[in-house]
Copies of this chain bind each other. A is one copy, B any other.
Amino acid sequence: MVKVFFQDIGVPTKNRAELVDITQDVEGTVRGSEIRNGLCIIHSVHSTTAIIVNENEAGLAKDILKKVQQEYEKGADWLHDKVDDNADAHLASSFIGSTRMFPVREGRSERGTWQNIFLLESDGPRPRRIVVEVLGMRSHEHRASEQARANFSRILTLHS
C-alpha cells in the first residue's frame, strides 16, 4: 500500500543568519511514517531561507554562514532593498534552494554519515515552518520489489 505522510516542523529562529539542525525532526518523521521504501522531501515554505545538507561541525557551520554572507552581500545596491530590506536573503534562497530530498530505503533515510539537514535562516529571527513529506510503500508491498531487485542484481552480475 502506498502512503503519503506529512509533518510540519516549526523552527523559531533566533538570529538574522543561522543554521538550525533539523535532522532529528526529519528522522522522527521518517520513522513515524512507517513507510519502508520511498522518498523524503524537506521543504521550507519561505523565500528567505534555504535547506542545506552537510556535516554538523561548529567551524563548518560558521564557514557556511560566512560564505552565504560573502556571496549574497547585504546592502549591495539591490533594487529589492527599496521594497523590503532583505534582498540578500531572497538571493540566497533563490540560488541555494528551499528543498532537499533523500531516498527512504528499508525504513531509513539514505543519509550519509556526515549528511545532516539544516534550515538556513537568512532573514531572522522569525518563526519558520518546514514541511517534511514521506511518500512510499509500507512494509508488506516491499517483498515484490525486493524480489525484483534481486533479479536485477543478478542480471547486472551476468553483464558486468
Contacts and interface: CB of A to CB of B under 8 A. Distances in A.
Contacts of A94: 52-54, 64
A54 B82 CA distance: 17
A43 B110 contact: yes
Contact of A136 (B4, B45, B103): B4
Interface residues of A, number: 72
Interface in A103-140: 103, 105, 110-112, 114-115, 131, 133, 135-137
A34 B46 CA distance: 25
Given A80-B60, A94-B52, A6 B103 contact: yes
A91 B63 contact: yes
A112 B79 contact: no
A133 B103 contact: yes
A3 interface: yes
Contacts of A105: 6, 131, 133
A97 B28 CA distance: 23
A135 to B, nearest CB: 6
A149 B79 CA distance: 42
